[in-house]
Amino acid sequence: MGEDKHHADYANISSSLSKEETLQHILDSYSALASDTTNWVANLSNCSSLLWHAYHSLNTPVNWAGFYVRSKPEELILAPFQGKVACQIIKFGSGVCGTAASSQKTQLVPDVEKFPGHIACDGETKSEIVVPIVKDGQTLGVLDLDCLDLNGFDKVDQEYLEKLAELISETCDWTKL
């Protein structure tokens, strides 16, 4: 990084960028940051910050941006995030995050109230997208974004966030999970 550039500047994202440019900024910034370390906690912590600030630069009212990781064979535990305090433990197959973890398929949920067995960590959340992070056929965790509006996310978000989940899978050392 140049002498006048601070790490925080990765989170200063122009609101004049298109949605695709903003989402590409997340991918590029994540890659640059992950070239410094393979530590998964450090990388997911900075990635949560990138996601939070990128979506806010798009005026999407994201109220939670972060991760759950696999702690036991069929259980997720809370990992780095930005937003309000969250549920710590989610069983595979339970709610939106648990369904993404067990099915290894992205869950794009326009209205969380209509999702069977939705777990409400925050009663204000209206829509959600959860993308599984997979390596060698195993679920490592999930990337989770919540929004205060209905229909907060679409296929464009899904496309870029799935690329981000792949990058995350490849760039981190997962042996200490």
Among 31, 39, 103, 151, binds a second copy (CB under 8 A): 39
Which of 101, 63, 100, 69 minimizes the C-alpha distance to 85?
63
> Cα(83)–Cα(14) distance, rounded to whole angstroms?
21
Question: Which string of x and - marks every residue 87-116 that binds a second copy (by CB under 8 A)?
Answer: xxx---------------------------
Contact indicator for 144, 97 with CB cutoff of 8 Å: yes
Question: Does 86 participate in binding a second copy (rule CB under 8 A)?
Answer: yes
Q: Interface with a second copy includes 27 (CB under 8 A)?
A: no
* Per CB under 8 A, 77 contacts a second copy: yes
CB 155 → a second copy: shortest distance, Å? Answer: 27
CB atoms closer than 10 angstroms to residue 82: 20
Provide the minimum distance between the beta carbon of 121 and a second copy in the complex, in angstroms, as a whole number: 5
Rounded to whole angstroms, the Cα distance separating 26 from 23 reads 5
